Structure 1
Amino acid sequence: MQARTTGAPGPLHDLIAHPAGTAGPVAGLSVSAFRPEPSVLALDYVLSGDLFQVLVPTWTGRMRADDLWRHTCFEAFVRAGSGPGYHEVNLSPSGEWAVYGFEAYREGRTSPDGVESQTLVRASDDDQFAMTAIVRLDGLDPAVPWSIGLSAVVEVVEGGTSYWALTHPSASPDFHHPDSFTLTLPPPEPA
């Protein structure tokens, strides 16, 4: 199985499980993130473990949908520059996706214009699931560095959910927390 299908030049970042969840059959979760174009975010997620015990939504097709975080879902939180506003990107293994804009921490949620999941591809074998997404975020300033929070929600067959992120700055899982935006992605160099 080819795990990194966008050809992401960046490293894989290991996500850590929040102690409030149930890691269960998940051995690890890594993400590579980069900006191939100023307004585009490319993500490669790699979930490892006993996949027979993980609830992975079946493929239904690439379409916009809400409440994806209620089941196994890969996420990215993106803030352009230093302001309080940010975008939340939800990517389901089903092919469904959503992008929300926030004016500040969990405030002023919108469905911003100029966003699109351009590519969503998945691949798996018995112990590894990989998903690639290329998302256009035209509403974010393309000329400044983007601060990123990478995360995932993983449901397991026997019940329970695990919450994965680059960091967990609060006692309960909170991917929106301002201190979760720990990865910086500068705009790509001009060709």
Structure 2
Amino acid sequence: MNDQTFSLQPFLSTKSLPNLKIAGNIARNYNQLVICYMLEGDFKEIAIATPSNTRSRKHELWENTCFEFFVGIKDSLRYWEFNLSPAGHWNVYRFDAYRQGMQEETAFTILPFSVQNQADGSALMLEVDLNKIVSAKQEIEVAITTVIKHRDGEVTYWALTHRGAEADFHLRDSFIIEL
């Protein structure tokens, strides 16, 4: 098993950022990927969707507070974007290369994840079988990201690293966790 902790950093902004911390851990055991995000801090300024009883696939989750991660096959241009909403909605997209050939990944019909909200924190945990998209023998590279929408409509972008002049989660040189 390969288990790593992470801490996300906000992309530089001219606006003041809320007092937040986004951290967690990620592990790959054979071809099961487990990721856990912990969001802590002052939630008064953040727009977080209330958990829904209906968990369904939805598009454009990144327009609101959304936990994301990207999985790429080492030495390949192909990668996947996983979007997880605190409301329970989700989606997975496949790309042939950098922002090219975006398609909804139909290998996944459900992404079972849990969300626990408290007054000063929120935790999201997902366990996903990667056999649907990569073999257990293939090395993967992962980028972990989060979009935070503020109550005033401002959006901030959080990632392990920001390698571009603008916030861009799709840059392959930001897929820095190897599993």
TM-score (norm 2): 0.90
Rounded Cα–Cα distance in structure 1 between residues aligned with 2:72 and 2:23 = 21
Q: Which segments of 5 or more consecutive residues in structure 2 lack a partner in the other structure?
A: none
Rounded Cα–Cα distance in structure 1 between residues aligned with 2:18 and 2:137 = 41
Give the secondary structure class of the aligned counterpart of 1:94: coil
Q: Residue 20 of structure 1: which of 13, 19, 22 is its match?
A: 13
In the other structure, the counterpart of 2:120 is 127
Q: How does 1:66-77 map to 2 (within 5 A)?
A: 66-77=59-70
Pair 1:33–1:126, CA change in 2 (3 A) = same
In the other structure, the counterpart of 2:79 is 86
In the other structure, the counterpart of 1:56 is 48
Pair 1:73–1:123, CA change in 2 (3 A) = same
Q: Choose 19-28 or 101-110, whichever is displaced more.
A: 19-28
Percent identity (aligned): 31
CA contact (8 A) 1:18 1:173 kept: yes
- Alignment pair present for 1:45 and 2:37: yes
Q: How does 1:98-177 map to 2 (within 5 A)?
A: 98-137=91-130, 138-177=132-171
Rounded Cα–Cα distance in structure 1 between residues aligned with 2:65 and 2:76 = 30
Give the secondary structure class of the aligned counterpart of 2:76: coil
Rounded Cα–Cα distance in structure 2 between residues aligned with 1:14 and 1:23 = 19
- Alignment pair present for 1:30 and 2:23: yes
Rounded Cα–Cα distance in structure 1 between residues aligned with 2:156 and 2:166 = 12
CA contact (8 A) 1:116 1:136 kept: no
Q: Which segments of 5 or more consecutive residues in structure 1 lack a partner in the other structure?
A: 1-7, 186-191
Deviations 1:138-159 (A, max 9, x none): 1223211110000000011233
Rounded Cα–Cα distance in structure 2 between residues aligned with 1:96 and 1:17 = 23
Give the secondary structure class of the aligned counterpart of 2:44: helix
TM-score (norm 1): 0.85
Superposed CA RMSD in Å reads 1.9
Q: How does 1:169-188 map to 2 (within 5 A)?
A: 169-185=163-179
Rounded Cα–Cα distance in structure 2 between residues aligned with 1:10 and 1:23 = 33
Q: What's the CA shift for 1:112?
A: 2.3
Deviations 1:69-122 (A, max 9, x none): 000000000012211010000000010000000000000111223224442111
